[in-house]
């Protein structure tokens, strides 16, 4: 209780001093507030840019570690048979205890839209794909296991395609016709964020539905193009290196002679190898903010020193009323810390206000869908550095204050 | 019961390229609880140094200083500071109110170094104390808005708010005119008596000295007990002539006014 009281009393004392010398404090703290705003903004910018970049990378290349296996026939004599390769992949995945797998096929097909039959990119996947690529569905939902049993295939459309359909409420089960060897009616169950001013008409459906619909005409003859899916497995990054060749060889063994499995890993963690592409930028702007903070701190030290000299009498009076040397030291230090923390709060608020502005966010993330939340870590770094600067700037004046001889000071 | 005892206390300052300066020489002093002692002396006689020692702000070069049965040398620096805060109240010649702070904020100051029980009730305690010195209606007045007498009353409230056992008044009326000074002293005397604190007044004003029960004179670092007349005769009072000064023992209160007691009624809203 005594300790808490001492802290509370020192805070009361510091606040009282700051209140009395508002102008001085304000002038000395502008630099600190600006520097903290810059530092926080830079940290937050880095975090937001990194997060947005990472989300994009995850959407296209998967979350670490995402292994991709691409079967190919080295003899060129055999027609690819997706059902065989799928079985080989599933067996290998089961053997190595991999829970998250998906077939992935990128193709195109014709659908009947209100404006007529339109050819558009179609992606065919398994339900796990959504988790493996952290797909954000803006409206409705992603696929689940039951969607495979539907009579009318479920599809997830891009924002542009959804708008093309007239932005219907998904509870009304909006649908459109799919052209293929077995034409069917697709029911929209979700909308993803892709948009490029109405040009990005695309959709995603379950792999089995895609095959059933028969967008690609298998009976076009022996030379016809038969799409071959790639196989993705999401595994813990620590085991990725070991699993990659093992799964590949298990698949080739199952498929027999002539089949080659090309394993690859495309996720950003594998590409960057721990390198942060934003590091140079972050270091440069962070360094500048650090310098500004240092200049602010020097200004604060200067003003605090002058003030302590001016306040020698007051310190003497406080000593005569029982303030210990430690308390005087702590009090002067707290004044500095309380002041810079207040400046830090203002700085962080400025940074938040700036970074919450969609225009600013647009500069750093090209295809922003939602303004990401302000990173707490950046705010904490801003506040922490302002408190540290306050403590450092308060140290010298606090040492001067402790050396004040009470009666000499009072009789000044 | 003895509160403070000085035994053969000396204080010497070593000077570079000169003989050591003997400021206090063999000072003996015993102050009882509730005592009222005056110490008079010319400028340079060692009054301030003695005040430093009495207020536990300095250490003697030789001799012993015992505060509340604890020798000074046995107290560590922090203990001495805490004991000073708890047991000693200072009143200064120039009031030394903290600038820019209201009356109540000034009186709250010593409570910032007090134990939790006093700290968390600081505003109430300070307001009560200001009320006791007749400034209950001017809690938020800044020092610049207060007259000299009012400022010294705030200083008295500040010195007494923690209930000290020893009040050290260093020329408490030095910056006041004679009449105001007498009223402030009457108040101080009364409040000290009410609270049972010992009061040591260091002054060269004979009227102020006359209010004490025991009198000392400090001359060239030597403290000698005197009777009231001798002490009073030591110096010429500041700001008045001997002829114009009222009798040292007569109450310094105008006949038409309230009696010179320390209760709020003594200051019915008037500006001293």
Q: Strand B62-67 relative to strand B2-13: parallel, antiparallel, unpaired?
A: antiparallel
| Region of poorest pLDDT, from A185-189, A359-363, B11-15, B114-118 | A359-363
> Distance of CA A150 to CAs A110, A130, A181, B121, Å?
21, 19, 18, 73
What average pLDDT score do residues A293-299 get?
80
C-beta atoms of A317 and B96 within 8 A: yes
pLDDT of residue B10: 93
Size of interface A-B (CB pairs under 8 A): 78
Residue A377 has pLDDT above 90, yes or no: no
Identify the band that residue B48 occupies on the pLDDT scale cut at 50, 70 and 90.
Answer: confident
pLDDT of residue A226: 67
pLDDT of residue A149: 87
pLDDT of residue A206: 93
| Region of poorest pLDDT, from A294-298, B131-135, B250-254 | B250-254
C-beta atoms of B85 and A323 within 8 A: yes
Tokens at residue B123, please? 């505003």
Are A179 and A288 in a shared domain?
Answer: no
| Region of poorest pLDDT, from A16-25, A304-313, B36-45 | A16-25
What average pLDDT score do residues B65-80 get?
89
Are A257 and A363 in a shared domain?
Answer: no
Residue B255 has pLDDT above 50, yes or no: no
Tokens at residue A63, please? 């979350």
Are A70 and A202 in a shared domain?
Answer: yes
Are A114 and A34 in a shared domain?
Answer: no
What average pLDDT score do residues B98-116 get?
91
User: Is residue B258 one of the residues assigned to a domain?
Assistant: yes
Beta bridge partners of A300: none
Residue A333 has pLDDT above 60, yes or no: yes
C-beta atoms of A407 and B82 within 8 A: no
Q: Which of A19-33, A45-59, A298-312, B4-18 has the highest mean pLDDT?
A: B4-18
What average pLDDT score do residues A234-238 get?
87
Give yes or no for a contact between B146 and B109, defined as CB atoms under 8 angstroms apart.
no
Residue A57 has pLDDT above 80, yes or no: no
Are A72 and A183 in a shared domain?
Answer: yes
In percent, the amount of chain A with pLDDT more than 70 equals 89
pLDDT of residue B142: 93
- DSSP-derived letter for residue B204 is S
Are A97 and A27 in a shared domain?
Answer: no
Alpha carbons A255 and B105: distance in angstroms, whole number: 88
C-beta atoms of A9 and B119 within 8 A: yes
Q: Is the dihedral of CA A33, A39, A42, A48 positive or negative?
A: negative
Q: In chain B, which residues have their Cβ closer than 8 Å to the Cβ of A324? A: 77-78, 81-82, 113
Among B58, B93, B66, B252, which Cα is nearest to B169's? B93
The gap from C-alpha A227 to its chain's centroid, in whole angstroms, comes to 34
pLDDT digits (tens, 9 = 90+) for A173-203: 999 998 877 888 999 999 987 777 777 889 9
Residue A363 has pLDDT above 80, yes or no: no
Q: Which of A135-139, A152-156, A384-388 has the highest mean pLDDT?
A: A152-156
pLDDT of residue B174: 79
Side-chain half-sphere exposure of A171, counting CA atoms within 13 A: 0
Residue B64 has pLDDT above 90, yes or no: yes
Angle between helix A376-402 and helix A325-355 axes, rounded to 10 deg: 150
Residue B234 has pLDDT above 60, yes or no: no
Residue A236 sits in which domain range? 62-272
Are A195 and A226 in a shared domain?
Answer: yes
Length of chain B: 272
pLDDT of residue B167: 92
pLDDT of residue B175: 76
What SS3 class is residue A254? helix
Report CA dihedral (B204, B207, B213, B215) to the nearest 10 degrees. 30
Residue A347 has pLDDT above 80, yes or no: yes
Edge-to-edge order in the sheet of strand B62-67 = B21-32, B2-13, B62-67, B70-71
Tokens at residue B75, please? 């107290």
What average pLDDT score do residues A73-77 get?
68
Mean pLDDT of chain B: 80
C-beta atoms of B115 and A2 within 8 A: yes
Helix (H) or strand (E) holding B129: helix B122-132
Helix (H) or strand (E) holding A58: helix A22-61
User: Is residue B271 one of the residues assigned to a domain?
Assistant: no
pLDDT of residue A394: 85
> Distance of CA A231 to CAs A159, A160, A199, A329, Å?
27, 28, 29, 67
Residue B262 has pLDDT above 50, yes or no: no
Q: For residue A13, how many other CB atoms are within 10 A of its CB?
A: 24
> Distance of CA A173 to CAs A120, A189, A354, B186, Å?
21, 7, 41, 94
pLDDT of residue B206: 80
> Which of A229, A254, A272 corresponds to the end of one domain?
A272
Residue A155 has pLDDT above 90, yes or no: yes
Q: In chain B, which residues have their Cβ closer than 8 Å to the Cβ of A16? A: 101, 105
Residue B264 has pLDDT above 60, yes or no: no
pLDDT of residue B140: 92
Q: For residue A230, how many other CB atoms are within 10 A of its CB?
A: 17
In percent, the amount of chain A with pLDDT more than 90 equals 12
Give yes or no for a contact between A33 and A339, defined as CB atoms under 8 angstroms apart.
no
Residue B51 sits in which domain range? 2-266
Domain count, chain A: 2
Please tell me the distance in Å from B82's CA to the nearest CA on chain A.
5
What ipTM describes this predicted complex? 0.78
Identify the band that residue B146 occupies on the pLDDT scale cut at 50, 70 and 90.
Answer: very high
Residue B248 has pLDDT above 70, yes or no: no
Residue B88 has pLDDT above 70, yes or no: yes
Beta strands in chain B, from DSSP E residues, in sequence order: 2-13, 21-32, 36-41, 62-67, 70-71, 88-91, 166-170, 198-203, 214-219, 222-226
| Planar angle of CA B55, B57, B63, nearest 5 degrees | 85
Are A265 and A337 in a shared domain?
Answer: no
pLDDT digits (tens, 9 = 90+) for A4-36: 888 888 888 878 877 777 777 777 778 778 878
User: Is residue B272 one of the residues assigned to a domain?
Assistant: no
Are A80 and A135 in a shared domain?
Answer: yes
Tokens at residue A104, please? 């992935």
What are residue A189's phi and psi, to 5 degrees?
Answer: -110, -15
- Using CB atoms, pick whichever of B55, B86, B101 lies closest to residue A16: B101
Identify the band that residue B271 occupies on the pLDDT scale cut at 50, 70 and 90.
Answer: very low
Higher pLDDT among residues B230 and A300, named by residue: A300
> Which of A272, A287, A310 corresponds to the end of one domain?
A272
pLDDT of residue B57: 86
What average pLDDT score do residues B13-22 get?
86
| Region of poorest pLDDT, from A3-7, A210-214, B98-102, B252-256 | B252-256
User: Is residue B221 one of the residues assigned to a domain?
Assistant: yes
User: Is residue B155 one of the residues assigned to a domain?
Assistant: yes
Alpha carbons A366 and A358: distance in angstroms, whole number: 12
Residue B209 has pLDDT above 50, yes or no: yes
> Which of A240, A272, A304 corresponds to the end of one domain?
A272
Q: In chain B, which residues have their Cβ closer than 8 Å to the Cβ of A4? A: 116
Query: Interface of chain B against chain A, CB under 8 Å?
Result: 48, 51-52, 55, 57-58, 77-78, 81-82, 84-86, 88, 90, 92, 96, 98-101, 105, 109-110, 112-116, 119-120, 158, 162
User: Is residue B100 one of the residues assigned to a domain?
Assistant: yes
B118: CATH:
3.40.50.300
pLDDT of residue B31: 93
Please tell me the distance in Å from A2's CA to the nearest CA on chain B.
6
Are A348 and A308 in a shared domain?
Answer: yes
Are A290 and A325 in a shared domain?
Answer: yes
pLDDT of residue A370: 53
Higher pLDDT among residues A45 and B171, named by residue: B171
pLDDT of residue A273: 60
Higher pLDDT among residues B196 and A126, named by residue: A126
Higher pLDDT among residues B244 and A43, named by residue: A43
Query: Nearest-CA residue of chain A relative to B120?
Result: A5
Alpha carbons A353 and A382: distance in angstroms, whole number: 14
Mean pLDDT of chain A: 81
Alpha carbons A303 and A309: distance in angstroms, whole number: 10
Please tell me the distance in Å from A322's CA to the nearest CA on chain B.
3
Are A256 and A321 in a shared domain?
Answer: no
C-beta atoms of B96 and A410 within 8 A: yes
pLDDT of residue B25: 92
Domain count, chain B: 1
What average pLDDT score do residues B135-164 get?
90
Residue A168 has pLDDT above 60, yes or no: yes
């Amino acid at each position: 209780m005594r300790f808490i009281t001492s802290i509370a009393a020192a805070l009361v004392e510091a606040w009282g001093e700051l209140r009395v010398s508002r102008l001085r404090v304000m002038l000395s703290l502008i630099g600190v507030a600006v520097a903290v705003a810059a530092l926080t903004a830079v940290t937050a910018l880095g975090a937001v840019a990194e997060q947005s970049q990472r989300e994009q990378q995850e959407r296209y290349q998967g979350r670490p570690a995402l292994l991709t296996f691409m079967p190919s026939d080295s003899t060129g004599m055999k027609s690819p048979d997706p059902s065989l390769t799928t079985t080989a992949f599933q067996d290998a995945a089961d053997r190595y205890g991999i829970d998250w797998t998906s077939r992935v096929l990128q193709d195109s097909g014709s659908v009947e839209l209100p404006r007529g039959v339109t050819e558009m990119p179609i992606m065919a996947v398994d339900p796990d794909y959504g988790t493996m690529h952290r797909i954000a569905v803006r409206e409705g939902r992603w696929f689940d296991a039951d969607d495979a049993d539907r009579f009318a295939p479920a599809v997830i459309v891009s924002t542009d395609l959804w708008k093309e359909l007239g932005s219907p409420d998904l509870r009304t089960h909006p649908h459109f016709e799919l052209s293929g060897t077995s034409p069917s009616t697709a029911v929209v169950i979700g909308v993803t964020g892709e948009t490029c001013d109405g040009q990005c008409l695309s959709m995603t459906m379950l792999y089995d539905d895609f095959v059933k619909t028969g967008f690609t005409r298998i009976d076009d003859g022996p030379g016809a193009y038969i799409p071959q899916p790639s196989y993705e497995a999401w595994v813990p990054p620590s085991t990725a290196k070991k699993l990659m060749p093992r799964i590949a060889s298990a698949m080739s063994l199952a498929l027999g002679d002539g089949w080659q499995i090309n394993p690859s890993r495309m996720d950003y963690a594998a590409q960057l190898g721990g390198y942060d592409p934003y590091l140079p930028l972050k270091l440069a702007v962070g360094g500048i903010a650090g310098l500004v903070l240092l200049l602010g701190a020097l200004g604060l030290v200067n003003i605090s020193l002058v003030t302590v000299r001016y306040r020698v009498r007051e310190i003497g009076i406080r000593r005569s009323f029982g303030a210990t040397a430690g308390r005087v030291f702590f009090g002067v230090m707290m004044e500095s810390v309380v002041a810079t923390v207040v400046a830090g709060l203002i700085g962080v608020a400025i940074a938040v206000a700036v970074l919450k502005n969609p225009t600013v966010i647009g500069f750093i993330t090209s295809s922003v869908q939602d303004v990401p939340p302000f990173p707490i870590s950046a705010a904490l770094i801003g506040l922490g550095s302002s408190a540290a600067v306050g403590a450092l700037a308060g140290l010298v004046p606090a040492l001067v204050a402790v050396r004040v001889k009470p009666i000499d000071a009072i009789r000044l | 019961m003895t509160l403070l005892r000085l035994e053969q206390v000396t204080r010497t300052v070593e000077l570079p390229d000169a003989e050591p300066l003997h400021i206090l020489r063999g000072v003996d002093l015993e102050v009882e609880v509730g005592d009222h002692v005056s110490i008079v002396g010319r400028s340079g006689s060692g009054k301030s140094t003695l005040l430093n020692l009495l207020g536990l702000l300095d250490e003697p070069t030789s001799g012993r200083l015992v505060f509340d049965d604890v020798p000074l040398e046995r107290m560590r620096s922090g203990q001495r500071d805490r004991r000073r805060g708890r047991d000693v109240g200072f009143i200064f010649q120039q009031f030394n109110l903290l600038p820019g702070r209201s009356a109540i904020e000034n009186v709250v100051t010593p409570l910032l170094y007090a134990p939790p029980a006093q700290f968390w009730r600081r505003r109430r305690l300070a307001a009560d104390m200001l009320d006791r010195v007749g400034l209950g209606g001017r809690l938020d007045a800044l020092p610049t808005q207060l007259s000299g007498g009012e400022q010294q009353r705030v200083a008295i409230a500040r010195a007494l708010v923690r209930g000290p056992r020893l009040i050290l008044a260093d020329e408490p009326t030095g910056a006041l005119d004679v009449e105001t000074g007498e009223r402030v002293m009457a108040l101080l005397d009364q409040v000290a008596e009410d609270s049972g604190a010992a009061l040591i007044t260091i002054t060269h004003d004979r009227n102020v000295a006359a209010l004490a029960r025991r009198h000392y004179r400090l001359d060239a670092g030597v403290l000698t007990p005197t009777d009231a007349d001798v002490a009073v005769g030591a110096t010429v009072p500041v700001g008045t002539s001997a002829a114009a000064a009222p009798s040292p023992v007569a109450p310094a209160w105008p006949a038409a006014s309230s009696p010179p007691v320390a209760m709020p009624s003594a200051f019915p809203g008037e500006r001293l």
